[in-house]
Structure 1
């Protein structure tokens, strides 16, 4: 029996008994994947082993924050360059005369 067939059978039985319908297959897959490391730590504690796992990830994140290059927004801005004329200026030829 496939997952879909089992789901349809469970839905049918729930309707017959007036119970709420079960969630569709795959509806909570990401939540289960996020909770899996926590479950492993819980099982390790119950077995009497040290609960490890997230410490390494947290340390990696902390090291990345400490030694990351500053973002462009945080960097000091460069001093403005002096403005240059639009075209080449030949000495004395384009200079305006004053009376």
Structure 2
């Protein structure tokens, strides 16, 4: 189910329950991204080291993950 289908379902449920319809998908994306960016500028990550997945002693991970 994509975002539009979910919104249609949520709108239908809200109408059946007599509640206000939810906002359309993507309506607040720009503001949310802007707020996250400003938060990152004022509170930068403390650890800038890249995260590397653990691999076996040979440098190759096995299919079982062990």
TM-score by length of 1: 0.39
Structure with higher Rg: it is 1
Please state if 1:52 is matched with 2:40.
no
Q: CA RMSD in A?
A: 2.3
Instruction: Note the 1:28-43 alignment, pairs <5 A.
Output: 28-37=28-37, 38=39, 40=40
- Runs of 5+ consecutive residues of structure 1 not aligned to the other structure: 43-50, 54-99
Partner of 1:13: 13
Secondary structure, counterpart of 1:8 in structure 2: helix
Alpha-carbon distance in 2 for matches of 1:16, 1:9: 11
Instruction: Tell me the number of residue pairs that the alignment of Structure 1 and Structure 2 aligns.
Output: 44
Alpha-carbon distance in 2 for matches of 1:17, 1:41: 42
- Runs of 5+ consecutive residues of structure 2 not aligned to the other structure: 46-66
Partner of 1:73: none
Partner of 1:3: 3
Higher relative contact order (CA 8 A, sep 6+): 2
TM-score by length of 2: 0.56
User: CA 1:21–1:52 in structure 2 vs 1: closer, same or farther (change >3 Å)?
Assistant: same
